[in-house]
Amino acid sequence: MPIGIMSAMHEEIHLLYEQMEVEQEVVLGMRTYFVGNLYDEEVVVVFSR
């Protein structure tokens, strides 16, 4: 089961995105979910509005 990471700052999302192996970008509503691996863990990263 992936770990969900929600961030309120674009800078945090950018840093995580750079470290991730992004497999998929999913757009739902007004959010983009980045699905992939971060340090050998499955993660989903999203910016909270």
Question: Residue 49's pLDDT band (boundaries 50, 70, 90)?
Answer: confident
Quick one: pLDDT at residue 15?
97
Q: Following CA atoms 42, 32, 5, 1 in sequence, which dihedral angle do they give, to the nearest 10 degrees?
A: -30
pLDDT given at position 4: 98
b/e per residue, 11-38, with b = 16+ CB within 10 A? eebeebeeebeeeeeeeeeeeeebbbeb
Q: How many domains, the chain?
A: 1
Q: What is the average pLDDT score of the chain?
A: 96
User: pTM of the entire structure?
Assistant: 0.90
Give the residue-averaged pLDDT of 4-10: 96
Residue numbers of the domain that contains 26: 3-47
Q: What percent of the chain has pLDDT over 70?
A: 100
